[in-house]
Amino acid sequence: MADQLIDSKVLSGTRRGSGFLGLVVVLIAWGAILFSFRTQVRMVLDAWDTLPSHEHGYVVLVVVAYLLWSKLPVLRGEYCRPSWKGFAALVLTGFLAMLGELVSVAAVVQFAIVLMMISAVWAVTGDEIFRRVLGPLFFLLFAVPFGQEILPVLMNWTADATVVALRHSGVPVYQEGRNFVIPSGQWSVVEACGGIRYLLTSVFIGAVFAYLTYTQWRKRILFMLWAIVMPLIANWIRAYVIVMVAHKTANEWGLGLSHIALGWVIFGVSIFASFAIGARWRDPVPEHAPSSHGVQAPMPVLMGATLLAAAIPFGWHMVVQVLQAPDSSNTPSLRLESLATLPQGESADDAIRPHFPGARVVHQATYTYQGQPVDVFVAYYRNQTQGTELINIQNQLEPTKKWGWSISTQPPNDSPNVPDVRLEGFVKKGVHAAVYHFYWVNGMTTTSDFTSKILEALSRLRGRGDDAAAVAITAYSPDSVEAARVRTAAFANEHIAGILADLERTATADRK
């Protein structure tokens, strides 16, 4: 084949030991990838240990190992023959990892690491072996901790679905975002109720089941779609049943341990019912007789290919270090001169105080506006690196978790002075808080995490650096989130344009 590095040379010796040799060269390449991106690998392991929604990461490794072991019979007679196409894929996935590190997007880097590991198998073992093990290797993608970004959406869906079901059951409900009140008590959809853990677990288990049960891609895709829809419906049923049980038993059942146990019972029944129904359309297992394709690559060529595969990730990592060299060691001089004329007040002890630990400079102050307190928070970033970047899971608007998260939406904007903002509503002990927040990236604004990363990459490529900021404006009201939002909107209409000018002045000060 034209895409193979070796055409016809035979390694001296017999076929015995070629499987062990293939394992060794793959482990060398994998070790180089994992070591060169060890910071990201450590972040993945930390996520497995700390995030309940991703604690199945270790199970993923066990499943992949078992599936690869089950492929041994069909790998007999195959030889390692390094492939140029595999090396091309390894270079491209390494480039993707470099871009992810350049803009500090951990998920992109971590997915790229897995793709590099898959490409390394292709590069050093060749087309035939790679084709046979691609299925098991694909499941390594589930080891990447992803999906937390959709948690607010899942929480909104769960609250809305529960309220709709309660009303259809004849239970009167008053809803405010993720909080709702029924005659027997008050309920709130918190992060644990969002269903992210059910969803990610179901998708992984469903993918394994579809791979082992079906050979037709049409069936696999249909079952995977069901594996996504089913946990959402099961979580809505779980939330509704828990509330109804508590309502009917005067809150004696449906709380505490019974709350958790009932949820897992519903999810378990849903999973096993899906498997039982899906197994009715099982495809027959195809027979793969051991075969021999080509000849073993000579040892010098095989080891040279292995060393090249090991060097590629180090090369990309060095490129990242060069491109991420700080443009300026100066600490940004952030002065919000546009707010200098406003009187400042004392921040309440229970006020919302955003936490952005990686910022170079933070401005956090309480101003008196129309006789009421308004909190202004600005976290300014420069020379961003992993862990000290604008978009980071550690950055939180309300880190204490003492405020109930009631609503997350994009409010109407009828002022040309105000960019698109995101509204987060909170409630605590009868006090409502409305937070307007957005990102500023070198003169451009957005409310999207993804878009902010694109803007950062474009700014770097244009030679303007990576200056960026998170801006949050918070007002309070004892009446409702909407009343607080009106106050926040009034402050934003009057002062956001000045804050944006202050940020632009901070960014350009060191360029002159």
Taking each helix axis from N to C end, the angle separating 106-125 and 38-50, rounded to the nearest 10 degrees, works out to: 120
CA angle 148, 151, 152 (to 5 degrees): 135
What are 135's two structure tokens?
């299925």
What are 24's two structure tokens?
């060794």
Residue-number span of the structural domain to which 26 is assigned? 18-145+285-323
Grouping H, G, I as helix, E, B as strand and the rest as coil, residue 319 is helix
Contact 402, 357 (CB under 8 A): no
Mean pLDDT of the 432-458 span: 88
Note whether residue 1 is domain-resident: no
* Rg, the chain, Cα only: 27
Reported as half-sphere exposure (CB side, CA atoms, 13 A), residue 163 has a value of 19
- What total of structural domains would you count in the chain? 3
231-256 per-position pLDDT tens digit:
888 888 888 888 888 787 766 665 65
pLDDT at residue 2, rounded to an integer: 38
Contact 432, 481 (CB under 8 A): yes
Lowest-confidence segment of 165-169, 280-284, 476-480 by average pLDDT: 280-284
The answer to whether residues 25 and 93 belong to one domain is yes
**Distance spanning both ends of the chain, measured CA to CA:** 58
Grouping H, G, I as helix, E, B as strand and the rest as coil, residue 377 is strand
The answer to whether residues 345 and 480 belong to one domain is yes
DSSP sequence for 102-139: HTT-HHHHHHHHHHHHHHHHHHHH-HHHHHHHHHHHHG
pLDDT at residue 13, rounded to an integer: 38
- Among residues 268, 298, 323, the one where a domain terminates is 323
Other C-beta atoms closer than 10 Å to the C-beta of 229 total: 12
CA angle 451, 452, 453 (to 5 degrees): 90
Comparison of pLDDT for 136 and 456, the residue scoring more: 136
340-396 per-position pLDDT tens digit:
888 887 777 788 899 998 888 999 999 988 888 999 999 999 888 777 888 887 788
The answer to whether residues 182 and 221 belong to one domain is yes
Q: Which residues pair with 437 in a beta bridge?
A: 422, 472
Backbone angles phi, psi at 240, to 5 degrees: -65, -45
The answer to whether residues 175 and 134 belong to one domain is no
37-78 per-position pLDDT tens digit:
888 888 888 888 877 777 788 889 999 999 988 888 777 767
The answer to whether residues 345 and 444 belong to one domain is yes
Q: State the SS3 of 279-298.
A: HHHCCCCCCCCCCCECCCCC
Note whether residue 370 is domain-resident: yes
- What is the pLDDT of the chain when averaged over all its residues? 82
Lowest-confidence segment of 154-163, 305-314, 335-344, 400-409 by average pLDDT: 400-409
- Distance (Å, whole) CA 403 – CA 396: 12
What are 483's two structure tokens?
């009343």
Percentage of the chain surpassing pLDDT 90? 19
The answer to whether residues 243 and 211 belong to one domain is yes
The answer to whether residues 101 and 52 belong to one domain is yes
Mean pLDDT of the 447-455 span: 85
Note whether residue 11 is domain-resident: no
The answer to whether residues 408 and 295 belong to one domain is no
Res. 440 pLDDT band, cuts 50 70 90: very high
CA angle 406, 48, 105 (to 5 degrees): 70
Backbone angles phi, psi at 72, to 5 degrees: -55, -40
pLDDT at residue 267, rounded to an integer: 79
Note whether residue 267 is domain-resident: yes
The answer to whether residues 270 and 294 belong to one domain is no
- Distance (Å, whole) CA 177 – CA 480: 11
Note whether residue 428 is domain-resident: yes
Note whether residue 330 is domain-resident: no
Any long-range contacts for 233-236 (C-beta under 8 Å, 24+ apart)?
A: 233/270, 234/195, 234/198, 234/266, 234/267, 234/270, 235/154, 235/158, 235/193, 235/194, 235/195, 235/198, 235/199, 235/263, 235/267, 236/157, 236/158, 236/161, 236/162, 236/165, 236/195
Mean pLDDT of the 326-335 span: 68
Answer left, alpha or beta for residue 463, where phi above 0 means left and psi between -120 and 50 means alpha: left
Q: Give, for 168, the enclosing helix (H) or strand (E).
A: helix 151-168
The answer to whether residues 318 and 387 belong to one domain is no
The answer to whether residues 354 and 474 belong to one domain is yes
- Distance (Å, whole) CA 73 – CA 219: 26
Note whether residue 94 is domain-resident: yes
Contact 382, 332 (CB under 8 A): yes
Contact 468, 511 (CB under 8 A): no
pLDDT at residue 1, rounded to an integer: 39
The answer to whether residues 384 and 455 belong to one domain is yes
Please tell me whether the overall predicted TM-score, pTM, comes out greater than 0.75 for this model: no
Contacts of 206 (CB under 8 A, 6+ apart): 223, 224, 226, 227, 228, 274
Note whether residue 172 is domain-resident: yes
Residue type, 83: S
- Among residues 323, 345, 379, the one where a domain terminates is 323
What are 347's two structure tokens?
């921040």
